[in-house]
Amino acid sequence: MDIIFIDALRASTQIGIYPREKAMPQTIEISLQIGTSTASAGASDDIRDTIDYATVAERLRSELASRHFNLLERLAEYVATLLLEDFGATWVRVSIAKLGMMSGVQRVGVVIERGAAA
């Protein structure tokens, strides 16, 4: 299996359970490892034969801008499902972090791994 990765993608979404978090969107940081075969794209040199990371980033920014999630865990599941179902990934590792949420802590977050249903 090959891996396409996107590291430290910044996106805006409504995330959190506290009133101050629900009042306005927050910037989150997403890192993805997307498992797929890149053999066809390597042979053809054609973007249609792979998962286009620019399309993934654009789709995530668009989708997340219009949604609210209480927990990072739910947001990570949403992203994993989108990659598996809509982009045809066979495996994903999704890392999502809130930035500057606690004094003296740069990032807090969650990492999940999911595979496509057989």
Q: Which residues are catalytic?
A: 98
Alpha helices in the chain (DSSP H): 19-22, 39-44, 53-65, 72-86
Q: Are 28 and 95 in contact (CB under 8 A)?
A: no
Of 79, 82, 72, which Cα lies nearest the Cα of 109?
A: 72
